[in-house]
Amino acid sequence: MTTIPRYYQSLDFQKLWEKFPPAPEYMDSNYMLSRDALQALQEERFLLQMQRAWEIPFYQRHWGAAGMEPGDIRSLADLSGIPAFAVADLRDALSRNPPWGDFLGLDPETDEPLPLVLQTSGGTTGLPRPMLYAPVDREVMNINTGRRLYMQGVRPFDVIQVVLSLGLSNGGFLAREGIWKYSGAVPVMTGSGAQTPTRRQIEIMQAWKTTHLIGFPAYLRHMGHVMRDELKLDPRELGIRSLIVHLGVDDRASLEALWGGKVYDTYGTNECGSLAAECEQQTGAHVFEDSFVLEIVDKDSGVPLGCGERGVIYQTTLFKHLAPLIRFNSHDISAWAGGTCPCGSIHQRIERIYGRNDNMVKLRGTNIYPEAIGALVTEYPQSNGEYICVVERVDDAGREEMTVFVEALHADVDKAALERDLAVRCKEALGVKLTLRAVAPGELDAMTGLSSTSKTRRLIDKRPQP
Ligand SMILES: [Zn+2]
């Protein structure tokens, strides 16, 4: 007889909740552990995760090539000796072993069936990367979502409108699962602007008394502007208590002023869900250290960095059954936040994500992140904050230029003045001359995908690819 795996029999929930306490218990348990206790817990989970990883062909190949053998790694102190890997290695594994790659540790020919769910990376170009989640993977992610929401003030019966796109990319559905299972709040899944037009989103917010918004800052800013400038309504009167976002380099103060609510930063990925979240003190995102070990290292030398020094984040998971990550180079740029957090937790905190290492453009010897340009654009109230960078080769000598297109806030804005001021500001802040082009509001939408996807495109690279 066929065995059909049942989700609620696939996990010992009591046991799982003891190891990964959901909120509110988390706030008095693992969140408050001392450094010693936390380290002991991480050591134990790390060695189990290593054991699991050695069962997986991807790691056998990757580590074998570096001469590593099972048993070489005896504690977290040895972590830095493990070769890191990045998205390119996952793509390679997918093309060698279609359709899911050999990094999952799952063999449908021989394994007992288990309930699986598939989501993908947000991929803005080409086929997105698929990822399958086992029940324990998904459930720990949901617990972490619930913790993050609690830390950011969400309580039962709150109404959370999720304006992330609902489809293959993980963000929207993962938010729904975590809100529903572990926060007591009600998820309202309006999705991106392509799924529910912005004006309808706003009507729903008013009618159903939304208390929190989850989305990307660019779209939330756009929504606020539509409300204020087109519908002549004050977003602050909605009583939105918080905006739960991946802040990146977006400007927190102007977003908070627009909506009259708090803006809380979160660091999450499709492979891991939430890795870190700000508490109500807004002092940087506390890593969920019972679920992850993060490193921040110099992008070239791989040397670990101290507080305030920017480098790339390496992720190691402590709970995953399928596709555990051991030293995954995320290409995300951040830094450790210094000082202590008044909330009392000693869980490490990261600063905002400053950009992606692989999104970097080298222009006449200067490294430029499109996100850093975005941060400058939001300084100018004459713009609505929408922008896109186009980099291209302009002559046969290989000279490269970047043009930054910026949307004006409305039709009456003096575009020439905005271009002039922003060009000066970019030169001053980035040390390199860029061409600025101001355009009408909404004109960049087709290029950035602002109202159709939740992952907004900020760079178009027209240079010949090597
Ligand atoms: Zn805190």
Could you tell me if residue 71 is inside a domain? yes
The model's pLDDT over 315-349, given as tens digits with 9 standing for 90+, comes to: 999 999 999 999 999 999 999 999 999 999 999 99
Establish whether the linkage from the previous residue to 99 is cis, with ω within 30° of 0. yes
Going by pLDDT thresholds of 50, 70 and 90, the confidence category of residue 68 is very high
Examine the domain organization and report whether 330 and 405 are in the same domain: no
In this prediction, residues 58-78 reach a mean pLDDT of 95
Q: How many angstroms separate the alpha carbon of residue 56 from the centre of ligand 1?
A: 36
Examine the domain organization and report whether 2 and 32 are in the same domain: yes
What's the domain count of the chain? Answer: 2
Q: How many angstroms separate the alpha carbon of residue 284 from the centre of ligand 1?
A: 8
Examine the domain organization and report whether 240 and 386 are in the same domain: no
Examine the domain organization and report whether 295 and 375 are in the same domain: no
In this prediction, residues 407-428 reach a mean pLDDT of 92
In this prediction, residues 298-314 reach a mean pLDDT of 94
The answer to whether the pTM exceeds 0.75 is: yes
Tokens representing 75 are 């504690």
3-state SS assignment for residue 449: coil
Could you tell me if residue 123 is inside a domain? yes
Examine the domain organization and report whether 336 and 451 are in the same domain: no
Q: How many angstroms separate the alpha carbon of residue 6 from the centre of ligand 1?
A: 38
Q: How many angstroms separate the alpha carbon of residue 29 from the centre of ligand 1?
A: 14
The model's pLDDT over 150-202, given as tens digits with 9 standing for 90+, comes to: 999 999 999 999 999 898 889 999 999 999 999 999 999 999 988 999 999 99
Amino acid 446: pLDDT: 87
Could you tell me if residue 287 is inside a domain? yes
Going by pLDDT thresholds of 50, 70 and 90, the confidence category of residue 223 is very high
Establish whether the linkage from the previous residue to 304 is cis, with ω within 30° of 0. no
Instruction: Decide if 349 contacts 283 (C-beta within 8 A).
Output: yes
Q: Which residues pair with 329 in a beta bridge?
A: 86, 314
Could you tell me if residue 420 is inside a domain? yes
Classify residue 113 as exposed, middle or buried by CB count within 10 Å of its CB (0-12, 13-18, 19+): exposed
Examine the domain organization and report whether 340 and 210 are in the same domain: yes
Q: Domain ends where: 333, 354, 375? A: 354
Examine the domain organization and report whether 341 and 369 are in the same domain: no
- The domain in which residue 267 lies consists of 1-354
Examine the domain organization and report whether 21 and 136 are in the same domain: yes
Of 337, 339, 400, 344, which is closest to residue 368 (Cα–Cα)? 400
Tokens representing 50 are 């290593």
Rounded to 5°, angle at Cα 412 from 408 and 415: 50
Q: Domain ends where: 307, 335, 354? A: 354
Tokens representing 67 are 């001469």
Can you say whether the dihedral through the CA atoms of 374, 377, 378, 379 is positive or negative? positive
Amino acid 454: pLDDT: 57
Could you tell me if residue 305 is inside a domain? yes
Query: What rounded mean pLDDT belongs to the chain?
Result: 93
Specify the CATH number for the domain of residue 236: 3.40.50.12780
Could you tell me if residue 466 is inside a domain? no
Amino acid 364: pLDDT: 77
Examine the domain organization and report whether 369 and 350 are in the same domain: no
Looking at the predicted structure, is the pLDDT value of residue 125 above 60?
A: no
Examine the domain organization and report whether 266 and 366 are in the same domain: no
Of 56, 50, 44, 51, which is closest to residue 19 (Cα–Cα)? 44
What end-to-end distance do the CA atoms of the chain give, in Å?
A: 54
Q: How many angstroms separate the alpha carbon of residue 330 from the centre of ligand 1?
A: 24
Specify the CATH number for the domain of residue 435: 3.30.300.30
Q: How many angstroms separate the alpha carbon of residue 158 from the centre of ligand 1?
A: 22
Q: Domain ends where: 338, 354, 370? A: 354
Examine the domain organization and report whether 275 and 239 are in the same domain: yes
Examine the domain organization and report whether 377 and 232 are in the same domain: no
Q: How many angstroms separate the alpha carbon of residue 287 from the centre of ligand 1?
A: 10
Tokens representing 136 are 């324990």
Q: How many angstroms separate the alpha carbon of residue 40 from the centre of ligand 1?
A: 22
Going by pLDDT thresholds of 50, 70 and 90, the confidence category of residue 455 is low
